[in-house]
Amino acid sequence: MFIGVAKEKFHYHNTLLCLVRSLQKVNITIDLRNDSYVCGELELVDGFMNLSLLKAVYCDPQGNEYYFENIFLQGRNIRYIHIPESMNIISTIKQELRCNKPKPKEKATMKSRKVQKARRQHMQTVAELQMKPSGSK
């Protein structure tokens, strides 16, 4: 189940964030807005598409490579996420949404005193109508 604030849940269910979340534990390449890219194992994705990668390689625009055990990327800095060619996108999205379907809300069992009193009066009126003979008023 996807855990997050209401805005994060909205993004998860109404954007392709669910596809990115299904890529967890997969090695991916991410292009950044500053023309650099990062390759690594996707560890975490939050509702704002902030990503955390393990064993990552960051390559800057000049071609220099830097190795990181763990790297965090803000969603606003991401330009493109490469989806593996072997992945069927439609079935992956369906499976991810099926697994993280929101649970239906439980109905409140406790009602206000005013509602409880009105219900008792209604039930009493129904009981009185049932006890009266059908011919009398």
Beta carbons of 74 and 45 less than 8 angstroms apart? no
Residue at 14 is within a domain: yes
Mean pLDDT computed over every residue of the chain: 85
Beta carbons of 26 and 69 less than 8 angstroms apart? no
Residue at 21 is within a domain: yes
The better pLDDT of the pair 7, 42 is held by: 42
Residue at 122 is within a domain: no
| DSSP string for residues in 35-80 | S-EEEEEEEEE-TT--EEEEEEEEE-TTS-EEEEEEEEE-GGGEEE
Q: Which residue has the tokens 């409880």?
A: 116
Residue at 133 is within a domain: no
Q: How many domains does the chain have?
A: 1
Residue at 131 is within a domain: no
CATH number assigned to the domain comprising residue 45 = 2.30.30.100
Residue at 121 is within a domain: no
The pLDDT value given to residue 74 = 94
The pLDDT value given to residue 67 = 96
Measured between alpha carbons, how far is residue 82 from residues 6, 10, 27, 28, 86 in Å?
27, 23, 10, 6, 12
Residue at 76 is within a domain: yes
Q: Which residues contact 118 (CB under 8 A, 6 or more apart)?
A: none
pLDDT (tens digit per residue) in 12-54: 878 888 889 889 999 999 999 999 999 999 999 988 899 999 9
pTM for this prediction = 0.66
Token pair, residue 19, equals 């596809």
The pLDDT value given to residue 102 = 61
Residue at 117 is within a domain: no
Domain hosting 94: range is 6-104
